Amino acid sequence: MLSTFLSHQWKDFWRSRNKAGSIAANLLLGFFMLYFLAIAVGVGFWMTMIIEKTFPGQNVITVFNGFILYYFLFDLAIRTQMQELPTLSIVPYLHLKIKRKTIVNFLNIKSLFSFFNLLPLFVFIPFSIMKIGTTYGALTALMYVLSILSLVVFNNYLVLYLKRKSINNFSYFISIIGVVTVLAALDYYHIISVRDFSNLIFVNVTKYPFLGLIFTLAAVGIFIINSNYLRANLYTEELSTKDDKKTSTDYPFLNRFGKVGELAALELKLILRHKRSRGSVLMGFAFLAYGLIFYKGPMIEKNEFGKLLFAALFMTGIAILTYGQFMFAWQSTHFDGLLVNKIDFKDFIKAKFLLFTISSTIITVLASFYGFMSYKLLLLHAAAYLYNIGFATVIVLYFATMNYKRLDITKSASFNWQGIGATQWILGLPFILIPVFIYMPFGIMNKPFWGLAAIALFGLITLLMRNFWINLLVKKFEKQRYKIAEGFRE
């Protein structure tokens, strides 16, 4: 039966209308996969030399042990954004005399053939065999390999389970991002040490090899949980009920904005109900950790805000950029209906501004924990926030009126280039360059705080001019709407 499913999947691919585009995308994706796998092979076989040069004077195995859990925590966070659910047109098979267990087994097996499951094998297994095996013996090396395989399987099915649960309850999906972010922050501020904890676990595996079976039991456990959840939700009646069920509620806090709030609430429901729009917004929360990479103590002490400005703009405005770059295309499937509906285009544009402002405000508030590093970062974020809600929103919506590419919002955002054109690439230039040019003269004069004040003032002035921008954008939208509609029909 599994061979029959594979045959159907193969025919579905070759008979699809966008076969040429899929082949081109897969070839490009395959090239990048081979590139990263080649790097992983190099890292795996030369791990000892890399550790000795990077951490001179430290025990190679201790350093290796410390980074195992680090890697899989990072892997977990990346998977939540990029790993797709294994797809199969389930409903036609449910009407046939096929056991649900068979369908579930196919979906589970299919999910294992993933780049994320292959990469760690090349990174960890060569070192485990060559270094761990020669130091502690074959049994310990075998348990290391089994532990790595078990962690790969655990992450694979945990993410699939959480993504399936998040279809009905959004909190399941963001919980894993929250846990990983909190652990990263606690480790960054030396409150806990993930490296020490990882080393402690695998030191005990070297002493008592069979402790590695704990990871295997955890992998088996999450596999069973995931399989049971799938089997419990493979009824045609339940699938049709879920399609009709209202999966999001009204948002009372938007009611105060009248018709604009109603339109914003409808778009918020669209965001939460579909893969690609939801992934774009979630990316904003994932990039809250961006500052941990770019914010360095010496730069903050020397007030080198010009070097930190990109990270601040990106963090506080990422939701505006990632979601807004496809604005209007999110409604491409029902755009003709919007045009013939009795919707005031001014309210339609205002609703976009309202959503941008809410999303940027939430992320800026969440990013305020960087204030523990320095109060200067709060000033930097405040300036970037005012710029984003004042002028970046205008840039994004203006470029959106020149976007004619249709989007399928039911597809995942990962490795999906549908809807991306020259507009998206050009958009990033004014988004980043305008605040840089505003800050540059003050940076040259060594007046960094005046530079931040200038960016904040520019953002505030453009924010106070919002009605002017709305009227401008409405005129532009009314002029372009039929071209946009024609593009969305293709």
Tens digit of pLDDT for each residue in 251-261? 666 766 777 87
Segments forming the whole domain that contains residue 111: 25-244
Residues 230 and 302 reside in one and the same domain? no
How many structural domains are present in the chain?
2
Residue 94: the pLDDT is: 62
| CB within 8 Å of 453: residues ≥ 6 apart | 383
Closest CA to 388 of 420, 419, 366, 358: 358
324, 396 Cβ separation under 8 angstroms? yes
Residues 273 and 238 reside in one and the same domain? no
Residues 198 and 280 reside in one and the same domain? no
Residues 321 and 402 reside in one and the same domain? yes
Residue 288: the pLDDT is: 76
Q: Which tokens go with 201?
A: 């676990």
- Among 210, 228, 244, which residue terminates a domain? 244
Residue 307 lies inside a defined structural domain of this protein = yes
Residues 363 and 396 reside in one and the same domain? yes
pLDDT in tens, 351-405: 888 888 888 888 888 888 888 788 888 889 999 999 998 888 888 888 877 776 7
What are the pLDDT tens digits along the chain (490 aa)? Answer: 656 666 666 566 555 544 444 455 556 567 767 877 888 888 888 998 988 888 888 899 999 998 898 888 888 877 776 676 665 555 566 666 677 777 777 778 878 878 788 888 888 999 999 999 999 999 999 999 999 999 999 998 988 888 777 655 555 556 666 677 777 777 767 788 888 888 899 999 999 999 999 999 999 999 999 888 888 876 543 444 344 443 334 566 676 677 787 888 877 777 776 666 776 677 767 777 777 778 888 888 888 888 888 888 888 887 788 777 777 777 777 777 777 777 777 888 888 888 888 888 888 888 888 887 888 888 899 999 999 988 888 888 888 777 767 666 555 544 444 445 555 556 677 888 889 899 999 988 888 899 999 999 998 898 888 888 888 888 888 888 777 777 766 6
Residue 18 lies inside a defined structural domain of this protein = no
Helix (H, G, I), strand (E, B) or coil at 232: helix
Residues 372 and 279 reside in one and the same domain? yes
- Among 244, 271, 289, which residue terminates a domain? 244
Residues 98 and 233 reside in one and the same domain? yes
Residue 360 burial class via C-beta count within 10 angstroms: exposed 0-12, middle 13-18, buried 19 and up: buried
Residues 66 and 180 reside in one and the same domain? yes
Residues 121 and 259 reside in one and the same domain? no
488, 404 Cβ separation under 8 angstroms? yes
377, 300 Cβ separation under 8 angstroms? yes
Residue 19 lies inside a defined structural domain of this protein = no
Residue 9: the pLDDT is: 61
Q: Can you tell me the distance from the alpha carbon of 212 to that of 141, in angstroms, rounded to the nearest whole number? A: 11
Compute the 3-state secondary structure of the chain and give helix, strand, coil in percent, each to the nearest 5.
80, 0, 20
φ/ψ of 436, rounded to 5, equals: -65, -45
Burial 412-445 (b: 16+ CB within 10 A, else e): bbeebebbeeebbeebeebbbebbeebbeebbee
Q: Can you tell me the distance from the alpha carbon of 431 to that of 444, in angstroms, rounded to the nearest whole number? A: 21
Q: Can you tell me the distance from the alpha carbon of 427 to that of 305, in angstroms, rounded to the nearest whole number? A: 23
Q: Which tokens go with 118?
A: 């292959």
Q: Can you tell me the distance from the alpha carbon of 284 to that of 445, in angstroms, rounded to the nearest whole number? A: 34
Residues 263 and 217 reside in one and the same domain? no
The two most distant CA atoms of the chain are separated, in Å, by 77
Residue 142 lies inside a defined structural domain of this protein = yes
Q: Can you tell me the distance from the alpha carbon of 222 to that of 87, in angstroms, rounded to the nearest whole number? A: 19
Residue 17 lies inside a defined structural domain of this protein = no
Q: Can you tell me the distance from the alpha carbon of 357 to that of 350, in angstroms, rounded to the nearest whole number? A: 11
| CB within 8 Å of 204: residues ≥ 6 apart | 211
Residues 262 and 176 reside in one and the same domain? no
Residues 308 and 435 reside in one and the same domain? yes
- Among 244, 266, 294, which residue terminates a domain? 244
Residue 372 burial class via C-beta count within 10 angstroms: exposed 0-12, middle 13-18, buried 19 and up: exposed
Token pair 């990029």: residue: 82
Residue 130 lies inside a defined structural domain of this protein = yes
| CB within 8 Å of 472: residues ≥ 6 apart | none
Residue 203: the pLDDT is: 92
